[in-house]
Amino acid sequence: MSDDVISISGDPILTSGQADPEVVERLEGLLEAARAGEVVGFAGVAVHSDLVCSLRLAGLCCSFDAIGGLTVLQAALARGAVDEQD
């Protein structure tokens, strides 16, 4: 039955406890960059399997550059949400 369910965007729907390979790959890339000293600050939102979101701030993330980056990200998320509704 669950194999018949797809998201509006056509992306697969992950069940609770099932890892999304793209999320894991991107987080591992950020972790590698942080360990190498290339990433010195982080501001992010995680969407958990129960769809609750958590926020994280760490390091040098409270700058106008970070705020600008988050603004661009917010616009991209809004466009994605609108695109999924079409």
Q: Is the pTM of this model over 0.85?
A: no
Residue 53, helix vs strand vs coil: strand
Around 73, how many Cα atoms within 13 Å sit in the side-chain half-sphere?
A: 9
Of all helices (H) and strands (E), which one includes residue 29?
helix 21-35
- Number of domains forming the structure of the chain: 1
8 has a pLDDT exceeding 80: no
The residue type found at 24 is: V
Find all residues with CB under 8 Å of 52, minimum gap 6, and list them: none
Give the model's pLDDT for residue 1. Answer: 45
Residue-range definition of the domain harbouring residue 81: 2-85
Find all residues with CB under 8 Å of 60, minimum gap 6, and list them: 40, 41
Give the model's pLDDT for residue 51. Answer: 84
Average pLDDT, the chain: 86
